[in-house]
């Protein structure tokens, strides 16, 4: 049935045939899920799962990677911060990376963190407790006292230039001096842009009057407002700003820095306040872990008394020298942590349980609810994951149920409220819900696979599957066909114009112009977008084909390993499984997919349509730039940290892989060399020193590629 939550894996572990957990397959699934939700949260401002559920996925991913460092692959979302910046705005490279924070969720976890800090800082320390604003991290730069740039966090290294939009926020000082005396030559202030609740409600009131769609919550509204192409639109959104950290400062010639900025975090906040920056007044400096927990509990109870939304408390070591001593991991400081409040819960009536069909045929049950306002938005649908979850939670139509939500569109049904109305424990409760045996879209059989929790529609001609497969093929992570969303795919399928993805490449402007929602110009734009997608590399095509278990990381690994689709299709399953980051589960799934005559037929039609079936930059691929390179780094692992002049991160990795090497994201005793560019990760440099790994200056990267040897210091 259309209209329910799209196919969304429940995160259950994959198993090998012998019943043991397969960490490779689970890592691949987790990386795909986290990358997908990173993109929704950081780039599209439209998260689809609660924060707590996302945090659990990230925690599991990092736990497996920590236990199996040999399985870490370049670019894993478990080793990075945020998501890549949007192409709508100019990129900004942060002078000092904007790191994320590690999360804790219980008093026990919080005490474990303070205990770790205490063990490192034998002289004791004080803590600063601040409210965790639910907004968008922002970096403000001032030169000679004048505001000159604003940038989002992005992936922590590169953000988006949103200067014109941020300049419309009344809280942002246009100039700084005053109490500071002579303005610094350079000042970077970091903080959070947010939308006050009153402004959010007013925005939705205007949307309602204009007949537009209501915005989901203040956080998404703030992020979306900042990413408007027209700053005039941003100016109407009544955004606000809290500063929470000094990112960097350089004194004007002949002057010295204020002494406070080198002493403590609390003194720095006070200095920023005197300089005219808004600093949240609800903060405290405390001496003991028990006082930290008391602050957290107090604000958890009072969170709805505030005129803006918070989702936790940030706890920081106050002394700046102690912060430097504690250092940081590749993604987060060790001297700070975010104590996340539990997701909010509300009760409502479960009216019905229905089933949606995803691109692989997976049938996902979802709850139809009486609308309820929870976690910042009105909710009427919630996923129930699979048949087992419905049975375990024992929810039935007519029940009063607990709905848990943490600021996203699709919440979680926790379970029935015992004894409430017609809910569980009441005599008038309905019989247990049973999974349907027929697909709600095509009427074909629904079959639960042996030893799996998922149920599938087995009719490959099911229009519900077809719509989801084609929409996935056109998605940003795959072939990135702009303007081809699910609604348009549904239109084309309904008109008989689309049976599979290869049909897209036969579209002509005359075929589309005059259809519902299409004029001459929009038809031309879509045909051009489809034509542009022909040049996407093999790795993107593999993502788009929607092979079960094969996500972005595995697709890139296979494309780089084999260079062409023909070589990949001809390779035995064992060769696919041997590729780092793939493994037996993914390999078996890929082989099964290409064994299908129907799938091979689609591939041949894509070939005839002129799609790219090779991976650029891979030796022997036949693609310009893919000519054979000397294998100077064969069998060697080279880690890159920081920004290298003349190379993007992907280009540097491709240069290493193209010469036979590997480019993992972390340093180990087996690493051949660490190449450091501008703003390298401190943890990687420390790991290189600990393991005795040679460190190569980024300016000599080309020499390393040419010779395959660590350049000498001369």
**Better pLDDT: 5 or 610:** 610
**Inside any domain, residue 406:** no
Average pLDDT of every residue of the chain? 83
CA angle 608, 611, 613 (to 5 degrees): 105
Euclidean distance between CA atoms 342 and 77, whole angstroms: 24
Query: Is the CA virtual torsion 281, 286, 291, 296 positive or negative?
Result: positive
* Per-residue pLDDT tens over the stretch 657-712: 767 788 877 788 789 999 998 777 666 777 788 788 999 988 899 889 889 999 88
**Inside any domain, residue 458:** no
Q: Is the pTM of this model over 0.75?
A: no
**What pLDDT sits at residue 564?**
92
Same domain, 276 and 326: yes
Q: How confident is the model at residue 16 (pLDDT cuts 50, 70, 90)?
A: very low
3-state secondary structure 286-350: ECCHHHHHHHHHHHHHHHHHCCCCEEEEEEEECEHHHHHHHCECCCCECCEEEEECCCEEEEEEE
Euclidean distance between CA atoms 364 and 457, whole angstroms: 10
Q: How confident is the model at residue 629 (pLDDT cuts 50, 70, 90)?
A: low
Q: Identify the domain boundary among 290, 312, 340.
A: 340
Same domain, 166 and 95: yes
The domain that holds 647 is classified in CATH as 3.40.50.10190
The boundaries of the domain holding residue 269 are 91-340
Instruction: For residue 636, indicate whether it is catalytic.
Output: no
Q: Identify the domain boundary among 535, 553, 588.
A: 535
Same domain, 528 and 542: no
| Segment 505-531 mean pLDDT | 93
Please classify residue 275 by burial: count the beta carbons closer than 10 Å to its beta carbon, then call 0-12 exposed, 13-18 middle and 19+ buried. buried
**Better pLDDT: 52 or 164:** 164
**Inside any domain, residue 482:** yes
Q: How confident is the model at residue 49 (pLDDT cuts 50, 70, 90)?
A: low
**Inside any domain, residue 507:** yes
**Inside any domain, residue 225:** yes
Same domain, 205 and 329: yes
Same domain, 594 and 475: no
C-beta neighbour count of 176 within 10 angstroms:
21
* Per-residue pLDDT tens over the stretch 321-377: 999 999 988 778 999 999 988 767 778 899 999 999 888 888 999 999 999 877 666
Same domain, 265 and 203: yes
Euclidean distance between CA atoms 101 and 80, whole angstroms: 12
The domain total for the chain is 4
Task: Kindly give the interhelix angle for 218-226 and 197-209, rounded to the nearest 10 degrees.
Answer: 80
Residue 434 has pLDDT above 60, yes or no: yes
**Better pLDDT: 368 or 412:** 368
Q: How confident is the model at residue 1 (pLDDT cuts 50, 70, 90)?
A: very low
The active-site residue out of 2, 132, 213, 393 is 132
Same domain, 257 and 290: yes
Same domain, 587 and 651: no
In this structure, are residues 27 and 65 in contact, taking their beta carbons and an 8 Å threshold?
Answer: yes
Euclidean distance between CA atoms 697 and 704, whole angstroms: 10
Q: Based on DSSP, count helices (H) and strands (E) in the chain, helices before strands.
A: 24, 21
Residue 545 has pLDDT above 60, yes or no: yes
Same domain, 564 and 520: no
Same domain, 582 and 516: no
Q: Identify the domain boundary among 503, 535, 567.
A: 535
C-alpha 24: how far from chain center: 20
Name the most confidently modeled range: 45-54, 63-72, 528-537, 668-677. Answer: 528-537
**What pLDDT sits at residue 435?**
93
**Inside any domain, residue 192:** yes
The DSSP 8-state label assigned to residue 144 in this structure reads T
Same domain, 242 and 149: yes
Same domain, 506 and 581: no
* Per-residue pLDDT tens over the stretch 274-324: 888 999 999 999 999 999 999 999 998 888 778 888 989 999 999 999 999
The domain that holds 587 is classified in CATH as 1.10.150.20
**What pLDDT sits at residue 75?**
61
Q: How confident is the model at residue 41 (pLDDT cuts 50, 70, 90)?
A: low
In this structure, are residues 327 and 686 in contact, taking their beta carbons and an 8 Å threshold?
Answer: yes
Residue 264 has pLDDT above 60, yes or no: yes
In this structure, are residues 451 and 440 in contact, taking their beta carbons and an 8 Å threshold?
Answer: no
* Per-residue pLDDT tens over the stretch 19-35: 445 677 787 788 788 77
**Inside any domain, residue 616:** no
**Inside any domain, residue 86:** no
In this structure, are residues 468 and 357 in contact, taking their beta carbons and an 8 Å threshold?
Answer: yes
3-state secondary structure 187-204: EEEEEEEECCHHHHHHHH
């Amino acid at each position: 049935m259309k209209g329910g939550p799209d196919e969304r894996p429940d995160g259950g572990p994959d198993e090998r045939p012998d019943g043991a957990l397969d960490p490779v397959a689970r890592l691949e699934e987790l990386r795909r899920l986290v990358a997908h939700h990173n993109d929704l949260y950081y780039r599209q401002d439209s998260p689809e799962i609660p924060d707590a559920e996302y945090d659990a996925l990230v925690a599991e991913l990092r736990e497996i990677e920590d236990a199996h460092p040999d399985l870490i692959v370049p670019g894993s979302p478990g080793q990075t911060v945020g998501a890549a910046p949007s192409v709508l705005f100019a990129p900004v490279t942060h002078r000092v990376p904007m790191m994320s924070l590690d999360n804790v969720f219980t008093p026990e976890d919080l005490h474990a963190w303070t205990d770790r800090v205490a063990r490192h800082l034998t002289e004791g320390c004080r803590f600063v407790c601040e409210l965790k604003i639910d907004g968008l991290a922002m970096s403000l730069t001032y030169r000679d006292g004048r505001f000159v740039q604003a940038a989002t966090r992005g992936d922590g290294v590169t953000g988006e230039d949103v200067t014109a939009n941020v300049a419309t926020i009344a809280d942002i000082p246009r100039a700084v001096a005053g109490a500071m005396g002579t303005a610094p030559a350079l000042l970077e202030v970091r903080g959070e842009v947010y939308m006050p609740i009153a402004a959010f409600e007013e925005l939705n009131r205007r949307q309602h009057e204009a007949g537009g769609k209501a915005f989901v919550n203040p956080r998404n509204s703030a992020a979306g407002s900042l990413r408007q192409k027209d700053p005039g639109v941003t100016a109407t959104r009544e955004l606000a700003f809290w500063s929470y950290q000094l990112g960097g400062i350089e004194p004007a010639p002949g002057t010295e820095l204020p002494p406070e900025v080198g002493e403590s975090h609390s003194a720095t906040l006070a200095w920023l306040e005197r300089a005219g920056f808004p600093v949240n007044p609800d903060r405290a400096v405390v001496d003991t872990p028990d006082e930290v927990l008391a602050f957290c509990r107090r604000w958890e109870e009072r969170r709805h008394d505030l005129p803006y939304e918070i989702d936790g408390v940030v706890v920081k070591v106050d002394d700046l020298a102690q912060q430097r001593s504690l250092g940081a991991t590749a993604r987060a400081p060790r001297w700070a942590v975010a104590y996340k409040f539990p997701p909010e819960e509300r009760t409502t009536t479960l009216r019905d349980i229905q089933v949606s069909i995803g691109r692989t045929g997976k049938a996902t049950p979802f709850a139809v609810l009486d609308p309820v306002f929870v976690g910042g938005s009105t909710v009427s649908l919630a996923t129930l994951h699979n048949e087992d979850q419905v049975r375990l939670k024992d929810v039935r139509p007519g029940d009063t149920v607990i709905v848990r939500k943490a600021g996203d569109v699709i919440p979680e049904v926790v379970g029935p409220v015992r004894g409430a109305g017609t809910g569980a424990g009441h005599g008038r409760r309905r019989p247990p819900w049973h999974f349907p045996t027929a697909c709600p879209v095509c009427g074909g059989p629904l079959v639960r696979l042996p030893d799996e929790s998922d149920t599938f529609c087995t009719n490959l001609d099911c229009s519900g599957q077809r719509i989801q497969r084609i929409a996935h093929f056109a998605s940003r992570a795959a072939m990135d066909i702009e303007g081809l969303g699910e609604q348009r795919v549904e239109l084309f399928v309904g008109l008989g114009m689309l049976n599979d993805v290869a049909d897209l490449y036969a579209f002509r402007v005359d075929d589309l112009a005059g259809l519902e929602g299409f004029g001459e110009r929009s038809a031309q734009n879509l045909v051009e977008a489809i034509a542009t997608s022909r040049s996407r590399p093999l790795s993107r095509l593999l993502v788009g084909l929607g092979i079960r278990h094969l996500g972005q990381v595995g697709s890139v690994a296979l494309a780089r390993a084999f260079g062409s689709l023909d070589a990949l299709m001809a390779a035995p399953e064992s060769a696919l499984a041997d590729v780092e980051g793939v493994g037996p589960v993914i390999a078996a799934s890929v082989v099964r997919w290409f064994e299908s005559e129907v799938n091979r037929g689609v591939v041949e039609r894509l070939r005839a349509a002129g799609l790219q079936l090779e991976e650029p930059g891979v030796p022997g691929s036949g693609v310009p730039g893919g000519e054979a390179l000397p294998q100077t780094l064969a069998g060697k692992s080279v880690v890159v940290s920081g920004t290298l002049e003349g190379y993007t991160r992907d280009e540097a990795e491709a240069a290493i892989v193209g010469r036979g090497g590997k480019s993992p994201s972390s340093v180990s005793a087996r690493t051949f060399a660490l190449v450091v560019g501008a703003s390298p990760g401190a943890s990687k440099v420390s790991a290189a020193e600990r393991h005795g790994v040679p460190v190569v200056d980024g300016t000599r990267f080309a020499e390393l590629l040419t010779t395959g040897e660590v350049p000498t210091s001369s």
